[in-house]
Amino acid sequence: MTTRTTRLFDRQAGRLVEATLYPELPVWRLLQVESVWGPWRRSAVERLLESGTFAGEVPQHWHWDWTRKAVKLDLSGYRCVGIECAQEMQGLMMLAVGVYGARLPPSQGRPFVYVDYLESAPWNVRPLAEEPRYGAVGMRLLWAAVELSVAEGLEGRLGLHSLPQSEAFYGEGCGMAMLGVDPDYESLTYFEFDRPGAEAFLARGG
């Protein structure tokens, strides 16, 4: 497994810091990460709810469990990417490479990279953390997914279903095309990069 150097934004220090991108994490690493993230998430959500935070403000992914997602690594085409900084995993992303087909014309049905799950460590997410530690985790992971799509000959094509709280990030923040609500996938909104969209995203610089 060849790691790469990337950069995250250290919010406390107010500057970019070096981080390590792992392109293919093994199952045991996901179990290890969830053993840290899981209790952190649950404690943070309990604290928020006890303090009277409106339930709608709690991150919609707080129930995620990477030990359940880890089994997908046995499936062909699935891999998990991670970003580590300060000896802790700061973000995880589950990908299906060449498993599903794109929806945007003129590439409908052509293989692409599907982002199954993407999560930043709970201490990087407001309001789970009062003072989030690292920023740009989601952007770096999505960047890595688009680069992988290019490297695999899939021309940067990439798609995902977004939780409502993340729609602005993928649409306005990353410039992905919004294809509307998908009734076949938990009524979540579907986003996609076609080749020009992916090129524009990469051209913005890492």
Binding-site ranges for another protein (CB under 8 A)? 28, 31-32, 34-36, 38-39, 42, 60-61, 63-65, 67-68, 117, 161, 163-164, 185-186, 188
Region of 34 on the Ramachandran plot (φ > 0 left; ψ -120 to 50 alpha; else beta): alpha
Output the smallest distance, CB 54 to another protein, in A.
Answer: 17
| Cβ–Cβ under 8 Å, residues 27 and 70 | yes
Output the smallest distance, CB 65 to another protein, in A.
Answer: 5
Q: CA 13, 16, 18 angle in degrees (round to 5)? A: 110
Measured from the CB atom, the residue of 155 and 192 that comes closer to another protein is 192
Output the smallest distance, CB 204 to another protein, in A.
Answer: 27
Task: Give residues with Cβ within 8 angstroms of 42, minimum separation 6.
Answer: 62
d(CA 206, CA 59): 26
Residue type, position 178, single letter: M
Output the smallest distance, CB 73 to another protein, in A.
Answer: 15
Could you give the dihedral angle defined by the CA atoms of residues 163, 169, 142 and 12, in that order, rounded to the nearest 10 degrees? Answer: -110
Output the smallest distance, CB 117 to another protein, in A.
Answer: 7
d(CA 116, CA 79): 10
Measured from the CB atom, the residue of 3 and 35 that comes closer to another protein is 35
d(CA 19, CA 16): 9
28 — phi, psi (to 5°)?
A: -60, -30
Output the smallest distance, CB 186 to another protein, in A.
Answer: 5
Measured from the CB atom, the residue of 8 and 142 that comes closer to another protein is 142
CA atoms within 13 A on the CB side of 69: 26
Measured from the CB atom, the residue of 151 and 168 that comes closer to another protein is 168
Measured from the CB atom, the residue of 55 and 203 that comes closer to another protein is 55
Measured from the CB atom, the residue of 39 and 206 that comes closer to another protein is 39
Residue type, position 183, single letter: P
